[in-house]
Structure 1
């Protein structure tokens, strides 16, 4: 994007380039625990993260076998909102599911 700035003394316009920086991206990560049911993790992935059942099951199995799994990559505000929604739902159901945000 370009803008022009006039010099009051000379009347000459100088072109100034302004670049809009893309926002930093953050990954949302689910962590395994011994108490949260796999079905609940799939439910969270489908309803909060809008994954298909197939994708949700694949991510859930990754979390279960590897201890953690990436759910998605978002701008910070969206990632933080999804983590809060997940944590709130897990606590409401009395599950200790841990979800974190990491810079991508």
Structure 2
């Protein structure tokens, strides 16, 4: 006699939560505050109040966090911002580091 039986195995697979990365803006003596606020608004989707706060962090402390994102998004936003800065003649620098 044949029986059709199915064995279901349960695998304990734990998916790791993807790491997030900070996009850090660095102060320089040439990039205007208005341009930094515009970058924060256009690329990082910050409202005017938050953009001004981050810009002041950059100005006073030498750096500020523009946002925290998955790696690919963080790199993309940083590159887009630096390209805009380059096109405007600013030496604006952003870096990406693990959160």
TM-score with structure 2 length normalisation?
A: 0.91
Residues 5-24 of structure 1: pairs in structure 2 closer than 5 A: 12-24=7-19
Give unmatched runs, 5+ long, in structure 2: 1-5
Give unmatched runs, 5+ long, in structure 1: 1-10
How far does residue 59 in structure 1 lie from its aligned partner after superposition? 0.3
In structure 2, what is the equivalent of residue 30 of structure 1? 25
In structure 1, what is the equivalent of residue 51 of structure 2? 56
- Greater fraction strand: 1
How far does residue 39 in structure 1 lie from its aligned partner after superposition? 0.2
TM-score with structure 1 length normalisation?
A: 0.86
In structure 2, what is the equivalent of residue 85 of structure 1? 80
User: Following TM superposition, where does structure 1 have runs of at least 4 consecutive aligned residues deviating by more than 3 angstroms?
Assistant: none
Count of aligned residue pairs for this structure pair: 94
Output the aligned Cα RMSD: 1.1
- In structure 1, distance between residues paired with 2:45 and 2:52: 12
